């Protein structure tokens, strides 16, 4: 009898031989193989050791091998093949219209941005560039008293975002808005969050094939990768509450951001589960930014 554990071992070897690129939810062949097999078998990751002895039917084996083949031949990231990604302990529907959720901001959301924010006082949140709405919806879950406005310039992405808002029953809390960054947003907010595009244009061609399945609008942002980040730093100032916090992911561009804004006091939190380059800026510091109100 073929077990889940044996099936994972077979797929792990296939993936290792194919020299795939990871980074869309897993970081190695073993975890990627387990994610695929467990999904097809409908098994719970939390109970992983016990589930390794579960039997695999012929039909399940064929499905696993077909998906593995597409993963290897077409270099499609696994979450697109499965139509689902995990973020902050929740699942989100994903397809090629949205970036695959993987931001380390998930860890900050689960900690309710403490100790950088007085979490109990958070009533209003804006997310810029929501994609699948994974950040907006997990913020709504972490801050049940807050209303969340989530923008994206991509109508296609917002179609997927709407599916996820409905899936998580967050319609009463999360408002989706098609706009450029913060254009048209009014009022003041306790928390502004953005995981905007931040890949420098010329670096796009050098990215692994897996990334070319994702929308370029979700990845590239000008020559140095910081076009979006600059807009956000300028525009967020007028919308943040006096005690508010801006959370801005720029990944590997964190050093370039520090150089571009030497007058800003960025805090760079460390992450237990990996990831870099998420800047925290307090409203008081942002208000001092040259050129801001």
Ligand X SMILES: C[S@@+](CC[C@H](N)C(=O)[O-])C[C@H]1O[C@@H](n2cnc3c(N)ncnc32)[C@H](O)[C@@H]1O
Q: Which of residues 96-115 bind ligand X (CB under 6 A)?
A: 99, 101, 103
152 contributes a contact to ligand X by CB under 6 A: yes
| Cβ distance to ligand X smaller for residue 5 or 251 | 251
* Measured distance CA(179)–CA(284) in Å, rounded: 26
Distance from chain centroid for Cα 19: 24
- Block residue for tokens 């003041």: 188
283 contributes a contact to ligand X by CB under 6 A: no
Six token digits for residue 149: 């406005």
| Cβ distance to ligand X smaller for residue 182 or 283 | 182
DSSP bridge pairs for 151: 128, 177
Q: Residues in contact with ligand X, total (CB under 6 A)?
A: 23
Sign of CA dihedral 256, 257, 262, 265: negative
17 contributes a contact to ligand X by CB under 6 A: no
DSSP symbol at 21: -
- Block residue for tokens 């009014």: 186
- Block residue for tokens 């930014």: 289
25 contributes a contact to ligand X by CB under 6 A: no
Of the residues 33, 125, 146, 157, which one makes contact with ligand X according to CB under 6 A: 157
Of the residues 154, 164, 173, 253, which one makes contact with ligand X according to CB under 6 A: 154
90 contributes a contact to ligand X by CB under 6 A: no
Q: Are 54 and 7 in contact (CB under 8 A)?
A: no
Of the residues 26, 51, 60, 130, which one makes contact with ligand X according to CB under 6 A: 130
Q: Which of 102, 190, 97 is nearest to 149 (CA)?
A: 190
Q: Which of residues 220-279 bind ligand X (CB under 6 A)?
A: 228
DSSP bridge pairs for 94: none
163 contributes a contact to ligand X by CB under 6 A: no
Distances (CA, A) of 203 to 39, 62, 174, 229, 292: 33, 37, 34, 17, 30
| Cβ distance to ligand X smaller for residue 33 or 250 | 250
| Cβ distance to ligand X smaller for residue 33 or 158 | 158
Q: What is the DSSP string of 118-156?
A: -GGG--EEEEES-TTTHHHHHHHHH-TT-EEEEEES-HH
CB of 263 to ligand X, least distance (A): 24
Kindly give the pairing relationship between strand 90-93 and strand 84-87. Answer: antiparallel
| Cβ distance to ligand X smaller for residue 128 or 140 | 128
138 contributes a contact to ligand X by CB under 6 A: no
| Cβ distance to ligand X smaller for residue 196 or 244 | 196
Interface mask toward ligand X for 174-193; x: CB under 6 A: ------xx------------
Site residues (vs ligand X, CB under 6 A): 99, 101, 103, 128-132, 134-135, 151-154, 157, 180-181, 195-197, 217-218, 228
């Amino acid at each position: 009898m073929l077990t889940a554990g044996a099936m994972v071992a077979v797929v792990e070897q296939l993936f290792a031989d194919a020299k795939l690129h990871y980074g869309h939810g897993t970081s190695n062949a073993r975890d990627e193989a387990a994610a695929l097999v467990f999904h097809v078998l409908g098994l719970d990751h939390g109970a992983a050791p016990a589930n390794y002895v579960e039997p695999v039917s012929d039909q399940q084996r064929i499905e696993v091998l077909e998906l593995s083949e597409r993963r290897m031949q077409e270099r499609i990231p696994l979450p697109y093949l499965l139509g689902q990604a995990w973020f902050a302990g929740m699942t989100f529907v994903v397809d090629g219209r949205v970036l695959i959720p993987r931001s380390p901001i998930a860890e900050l959301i689960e900690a309710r941005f403490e100790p950088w924010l007085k979490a109990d006082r958070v009533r209003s949140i804006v997310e810029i560039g929501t994609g699948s709405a994974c950040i907006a919806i997990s913020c709504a879950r972490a801050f049940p008293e807050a209303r969340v406005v989530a923008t994206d310039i991509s109508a296609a992405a917002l179609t997927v975002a709407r599916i996820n808002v409905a899936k998580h029953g967050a319609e009463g809390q999360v408002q989706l808005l098609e706009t450029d960054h913060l254009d048209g947003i009014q009022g003041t907010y306790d928390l502004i969050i953005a995981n905007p595009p931040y890949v420098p244009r010329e670096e796009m061609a050098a990215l692994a094939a897996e990334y070319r399945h994702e929308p370029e609008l979700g990845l590239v942002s000008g020559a140095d990768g910081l076009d979006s980040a600059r807009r956000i730093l300028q525009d967020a100032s007028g919308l943040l509450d006096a005690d508010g916090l801006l959370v801005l992911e720029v990944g590997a561009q964190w050093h370039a951001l520090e150089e571009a804004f030497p007058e800003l006091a960025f805090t760079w939190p460390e992450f237990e589960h990996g990831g870099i380059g998420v800047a925290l800026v307090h409203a008081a510091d942002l208000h001092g930014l040259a050129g801001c109100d």
